[in-house]
Amino acid sequence: MSAVLPTPVVMTVYYNITSFCYEVTRVDLFKSADLYVSLMDDNNTLQKRVFYKLEGTEYSGWGGDDQYIINLIIEKIPGWINPSPTPPTPTPTPSPTDSIGTNV
């Protein structure tokens, strides 16, 4: 037997991300590079895969130095795992109207 909850319940799961690997999947010379970053836990199990576009000053700072990419990824991982929450968009309150539909 199964049933639907009247209100969803959020279940949070925690993983220790302990390693990563990355692959450069595309390079647009002098402009950008596309990376896929795989985040692994203690058991070397993939927990999240992130697409990242390296462009602008980040791209020009790369210069082919793999350690630059590794350091950049290490800097970015916390934001990929725990992104800042997006503030809710306020719902506009309708203007009161009179019986013929004009604003009061």
pLDDT of residue 73: 96
pLDDT band at 43 (very low <50, low <70, confident <90, very high): very high
Average pLDDT over residues 64-92: 84
CB 46 within 8 A of CB 39: yes
pTM confidence score: 0.69
Measured distance CA(62)–CA(70) in Å, rounded: 10
Question: Which two tokens mark 70?
Answer: 């590794």
Q: Are 35 and 54 in contact (CB under 8 A)?
A: yes
How confident is the model at residue 47, as a pLDDT? 94
Q: Does position 33 have pLDDT exceeding 90, yes or no?
A: yes
In a domain, 69, yes or no: yes
40 found inside a domain: yes
**Does a structural domain hold residue 50?**
yes
- The first and second tokens of residue 89, run together, are 């968009």
Structural domains of the chain, count: 1
Length in residues, the chain: 104
26 in a structural domain: yes
Based on C-alpha coordinates, what's the Rg of the chain? 23
Could you tell me the pLDDT band of residue 13, with boundaries at 50, 70 and 90? confident
Residue 48 lies in domain: 19-81
